[in-house]
């Protein structure tokens, strides 16, 4: 995040947000954030998340669209963090920084539960996970928004990659462009395309009472449903040392119960799974770009170096992430 944006979030703005949500300023504590500023506070025994989004990252309309969708999911019994209305009974509030820039403020009930651990990853867990994702996809089919979120390819990340990546990475930009064009040509209909989370890794969910709670919908966009499934696979095995048949076997062991649960809630065009490697590669490239967007500290970190070393050549060589026939033979 740019230093100028960090400096723009003054104590005065945080105090004003506390007033808008009727909470004491001295209870608010910063807990992190990558693209947004994220704070936490407690009120009447309940924990809340206070989020500041800078207008250079998302417009008021796009944040409104995100919150409306979460509100819709919540009212239809999906496992999401409830959006809290302000004292003005608004889903969000806007605080101006200057004539052109502003912060969009929103508050959510903090997702209860704990981070997911390796010991939690049982067949029962994956079946439940698949059922919850299937439910999200089923609900989005009937969603009629007032404010529309962007399509996945309107994010302008490809344009940013052209400016950001150096000469040695020009070939990666070319691979990115080629893949985007390929995915853009895929058929879109109500059964395979809609507004989805797009970032369903374990860092964006908690396990509570044997059920999942999903949060951080900042990247929600219209995209093919298969993308959410690719994300689940990608992040589960991103840092794995497995490869080849051993990796295929582990992915298949995960997908079998996952799809068992998914199909309880939503149908899927089996033929569309043939695009799974494309969506896995898309996320591989996107994360490569995001790492470089974050700056030298992340690029030069042990994890950043490991990711670049592991995936750069795979992107260049268009190496498939998995063997489709082996990981879907249970279907």
Over the Cα atoms of the chain, what is R_g? 20
pLDDT at 34: 72
Instruction: Tell me how far apart the alpha carbons of residues 105 and 39 are, in angstroms, rounded to a whole number.
Output: 11
pLDDT at 1: 55
131 by DSSP, 3-state: which? helix
Which has the closest alpha carbon to 91: 104, 101, 78, 76? 104
- The token duo for 36 is 């947004």
| H-helix segments, the chain | 3-8, 11-20, 60-75, 123-140, 157-164, 170-184, 225-237, 244-265, 276-293, 296-299, 302-317, 324-327
Query: Could you tell me if 328 and 273 are in contact, meaning their C-beta atoms sit under 8 angstroms apart?
Result: yes
Average pLDDT of the segment spanning 193-219: 97
Instruction: Name the pLDDT band for 143 (thresholds 50, 70, 90).
Output: very high
CA atoms within a 13 Å half-sphere pointing along the CA-CB vector of 131: 14
Instruction: Tell me how far apart the alpha carbons of residues 126 and 137 are, in angstroms, rounded to a whole number.
Output: 16
Instruction: Tell me how far apart the alpha carbons of residues 161 and 31 are, in angstroms, rounded to a whole number.
Output: 29
pLDDT at 2: 62
pLDDT at 35: 79
- Using the Cα atoms of residue 179, residue 315, residue 256 and residue 198 in order, give the sign of their dihedral: negative
**pTM > 0.85:** yes
How long is the chain? 331
**Tens digits of residue pLDDT in 77-91:** 999 999 999 999 999
Average pLDDT of the segment spanning 6-30: 96
pLDDT at 210: 93
Instruction: Tell me how far apart the alpha carbons of residues 279 and 259 are, in angstroms, rounded to a whole number.
Output: 17
Instruction: Name the pLDDT band for 4 (thresholds 50, 70, 90).
Output: confident
The DSSP secondary structure of 224-278, one letter per residue, reads EHHHHHHHHHHHHHTT----HHHHHHHHHHHHHHHHHHHHHH----GGGGGGHHH
Query: Could you tell me if 282 and 153 are in contact, meaning their C-beta atoms sit under 8 angstroms apart?
Result: no
**Tens digits of residue pLDDT in 228-276:** 999 999 999 999 999 999 999 999 999 999 999 999 999 998 889 999 9
Q: Is the pLDDT of residue 7 over 90?
A: no
- Using the Cα atoms of residue 199, residue 200, residue 202 and residue 208 in order, give the sign of their dihedral: positive
Percent of the chain clearing pLDDT 90 (strictly above): 92
Average predicted confidence (pLDDT) for the chain: 96
CA atoms within a 13 Å half-sphere pointing along the CA-CB vector of 256: 11
Domains contained in the chain, CATH given: 3-109 (3.30.200.20), 118-327 (3.90.1200.10)
Instruction: Name the pLDDT band for 63 (thresholds 50, 70, 90).
Output: very high
């Amino acid at each position: 995040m740019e230093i100028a944006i960090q400096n723009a979030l003054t104590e005065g703005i945080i105090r004003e947000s506390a007033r808008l949500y009727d909470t004491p300023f001295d209870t608010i504590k910063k807990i992190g954030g990558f693209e947004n500023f994220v704070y936490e506070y407690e009120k009447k025994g309940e924990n809340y998340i206070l989020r500041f989004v800078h207008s250079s990252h998302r417009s008021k309309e796009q944040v409104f669209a995100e919150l409306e969708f979460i509100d819709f999911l919540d009212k239809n019994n999906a496992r999401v963090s409830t959006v809290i209305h302000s004292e003005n009974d608004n889903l969000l509030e806007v605080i101006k920084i200057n004539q052109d820039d502003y912060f969009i403020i929103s508050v959510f009930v903090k997702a209860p539960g704990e981070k997911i651990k390796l010991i939690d990853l049982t067949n029962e867990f994956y079946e439940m996970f698949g059922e919850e994702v299937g439910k999200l996809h089923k609900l989005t089919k009937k969603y009629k928004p007032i404010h529309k979120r962007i399509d996945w390819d309107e994010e302008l990340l490809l344009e940013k990659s052209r400016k950001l990546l150096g000469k040695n990475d020009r070939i990666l930009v070319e691979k990115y462009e080629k893949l985007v064009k390929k995915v853009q040509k895929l058929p879109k209909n109500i059964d395979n395309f809609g507004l989805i989370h797009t970032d369903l890794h374990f860092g964006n969910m908690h396990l509570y009472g044997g059920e999942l709670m999903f949060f951080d919908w900042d990247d929600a966009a219209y995209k093919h449903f298969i993308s959410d499934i690719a994300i689940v696979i990608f992040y589960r095995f991103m840092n794995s040392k497995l490869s080849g048949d051993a990796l295929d076997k582990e992915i298949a062991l995960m997908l079998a119960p996952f799809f068992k649960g998914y199909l309880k809630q939503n149908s899927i065009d089996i033929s569309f799974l043939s695009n799974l490697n494309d969506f896995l590669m898309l996320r591989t490239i996107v994360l490569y770009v995001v790492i470089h967007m974050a700056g030298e500290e992340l690029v030069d970190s042990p994890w950043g170096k490991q990711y670049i070393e592991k995936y750069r050549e795979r992107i260049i060589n268009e190496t498939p992430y998995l063997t489709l026939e082996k990981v879907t033979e249970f279907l």
